[in-house]
Amino acid sequence: SQAEVDEMLQTLINKSPIMLFMKGSPSQPQCGFSKQMVSLLQRHNIEFDHFDILQDDLVRQELKRFSKWATYPQLYVNGELVGGLDICKELVEAGEL
Amino acid sequence: MSTDASAPEEDTVMSTIEKKITSELKPVKLEVIPAYGDPNGSHVTINVVSQAFEGKRAVQRQQMVYKVIWEEMQGAIHAVDQMKCQTPAEAGM
């Protein structure tokens, strides 16, 4: 059911204080934007956990609907959506990440 | 975006995106730029200047745009290379 899916997603989002939903893994990113996001986090010594959305089609489709965000990568901090690569780059420039 | 003057007007992915954003967010300025100049391409850059973004954080602004073009995002568009959402004040207008 929708509620069960939403609950599963909420738990997944909260799996780690900083949670990255990406294509591939940090050691083997499968898309340019995901790769850049990983580099950005690592450059700033930010510890994060990740979920490879290429491995799970249900999460891949449902998370977009759940977060009203149409693309990957998606970065969550403390259960809240921060945004994609460009927003994170802006936050870095503003010293806010 | 350049158009071929001799081609008949047709609904491209880019023009559909432009129409939807224009209609829903009433931008004072809008740029929908296909990567590689392909009006039916799968990568796009979107720059929107609209009063509707007032008081909203960056993530909320992009969510507003995604909501408007959700269909295109599930289908034709595979990646958004850049999306800039500004209020007229921020854009210096």
Going from N- to C-terminal start, the domains of chain A cover 2-88
Contacts of B46 in chain A (CB under 8 A): none
Per-residue pLDDT reduced to its tens digit, A1-20 = 999 999 999 999 999 999 99
Annotated binding site of A for [2Fe-2S] cluster: 31
Domains of chain B: 27-86 (3.30.300.90)
Q: How confident is the model at residue A71 (pLDDT cuts 50, 70, 90)?
A: very high
The ipTM, to two decimals, is 0.88
Query: Taking all residues of chain B, what is their mean pLDDT, rounded to a whole number?
Result: 90
* Distance to chain A for B68, nearest Cα, Å: 11
Per-residue pLDDT reduced to its tens digit, B63-84 = 999 999 999 999 899 899 999 9
| Facing residue for A71 by CB, picked from B58, B67, B80 | B80
Q: How confident is the model at residue B55 (pLDDT cuts 50, 70, 90)?
A: very high
pTM: 0.89
What pLDDT is attached to residue B1?
56
What pLDDT is attached to residue B5?
54
Q: Can you tell me the mean pLDDT for B46-55?
A: 98
Neighbouring residues of B34: CB distance < 8 A, sequence distance ≥ 6: B1, B13, B14, B40, B41, B43, B44, B45
Whether A58 shows a pLDDT value over 70: the answer reads yes
What pLDDT is attached to residue B4?
53
Share of chain B above pLDDT 70, in %: 89
The CATH number fitting domain A2-88, selected from 3.40.50.1000, 3.40.30.10, 3.40.1160.10, 3.20.20.70: 3.40.30.10
Whether A73 shows a pLDDT value over 90: the answer reads yes
Question: DSSP letters of chain A?
Answer: -HHHHHHHHHHHHTTSSEEEEESB-SSSBSSHHHHHHHHHHHHTT---EEEEGGG-HHHHHHHHHHHT--SS-EEEETTEEEESHHHHHHHHHTT--
Whether B42 shows a pLDDT value over 60: the answer reads yes
Contacts of A78 in chain B (CB under 8 A): none
| Facing residue for B66 by CB, picked from A68, A86, A87 | A68
Per-residue pLDDT reduced to its tens digit, A15-52 = 999 999 999 999 999 999 999 999 999 999 999 999 99
Q: Nearest-CA neighbor of A77 among A29, A41, A36?
A: A41
Contact A87 B80 (CB under 8 A): no
Question: Can you tell me the distance from the alpha carbon of A69 to that of A29, in angstroms, rounded to the nearest whole number?
Answer: 20
What pLDDT is attached to residue A9?
97
Whether B2 shows a pLDDT value over 90: the answer reads no
Q: Nearest-CA neighbor of A67 among B69, B85, B63?
A: B63
